[in-house]
Amino acid sequence: MTKQILHMLSPLAHVSPFDANMALDAGYDAVLPYTGVQQTEIAGLVQDAIFSRPPKSALRTGVFIGGKDAMIALDMLDSARKALVPPFLISLFADPAGSFTTAAAMVAHAQRALRRKGSELRGRKVIVFGATGVVGFASSVIAAGQGAEVTMVGYDGTTRVGRAAAEIGARFHLNVAPADGSTEERKAAILRTAEVVLSAGRAGLCIISAGLLAQAPDLRVAADVNAVPPAGIEGVEPTADAVPIAGTQALGIGALTIGRTKYQVQFDLFRRMIDATEPQALDFRQAFEHAQQLLPDNQ
């Protein structure tokens, strides 16, 4: 029987052990790592893989693109797609640093919590902290794509987060705004208009204190992906699943709750590649669609 082979490409010095374990657990027979991969090398690697098997067996080959940069991963995915030569077609999946599946899970949980309050993401003021990171970037794109009014907050001013917002506008034709969250006073001013907060800052750092949350009168949902104590949002426990946050009117969603959904999304997308009868090209869009399916409103 033809073996299921996954080629894992990363521009970094290592591929992610997390991703390798996930792929093997999902059912791949072999996971082959390629590190330090440059954009210009993608087409050659993909074509070397597709021509090693007859077209009828092509879909037993997959390519996964990792790294830690969303834009680079998307560019590599685009190059891989363009390198395919019918009828030699394989499936492709980009999930740099697990960011696309993590962001998909976080936004899907926030959306479900909003619906419990009789609302939708469209038109809501969504504030993304840790927005210069890959999860924050992907979350901003997904939320803006759902019609939310997204503000990306930079902890070190607006230069870097402004570049990220401009990249989102140029690539996805979505309007997101940068904001300066470099001081507690500036964060408080931003939060006064917030209806949804997505916290994707670095692990082990409390970004939003209970005092700051108390200054967000319109806040409905706050989601945090930091599983390393202290929580990124004070008062949101890792296992919280749309649990009321003390001192606010908001529902909190914790990192372990988001993580369980992220794990299932990534696992299922690997399975989709393995079981495919047609070539797949997967990124944050398909990840979000699947996360929504995993989180029906009546749960």
Question: Could you tell me if 85 and 199 lie in one domain?
Answer: no
pLDDT at 299: 54
pLDDT at 1: 74
Question: Could you tell me if 134 and 178 lie in one domain?
Answer: yes
Using one digit for the tens of pLDDT, what is the confidence trace for 42-65? Answer: 999 999 999 999 999 999 999 999
Is 174 among the domain residues?
yes
pLDDT at 234: 96
Is 9 among the domain residues?
yes
d(CA 157, CA 178): 9
d(CA 71, CA 58): 27
Question: Could you tell me if 252 and 272 lie in one domain?
Answer: no
Buried b (16+ CB within 10 A) or exposed e, 78-117: bbbeebbeeebbbbbbbbbbbbbbbbbbbbbbbbbbbeee
Query: 127 pLDDT band (50/70/90 cuts)?
Result: very high
Is 299 among the domain residues?
no
Answer for the pair 278, 244: CB distance below 8 angstroms, yes or no: no
Using one digit for the tens of pLDDT, what is the confidence trace for 171-198? Answer: 999 999 999 999 999 999 999 999 999 9
pLDDT at 125: 98
For the chain, how many helices (H) and strands (E)?
A: 10, 12
Question: Could you tell me if 154 and 290 lie in one domain?
Answer: no
Query: 298 pLDDT band (50/70/90 cuts)?
Result: low
d(CA 76, CA 73): 5
Using one digit for the tens of pLDDT, what is the confidence trace for 128-161? Answer: 999 999 999 999 999 999 999 999 999 999 999 9
Is 121 among the domain residues?
yes
Answer for the pair 115, 263: CB distance below 8 angstroms, yes or no: no
- pTM, two decimal places: 0.96
d(CA 59, CA 5): 9
CATH number of the domain encompassing residue 66: 3.40.50.10280
- The parent domain of residue 271 ranges over 5-98+261-294
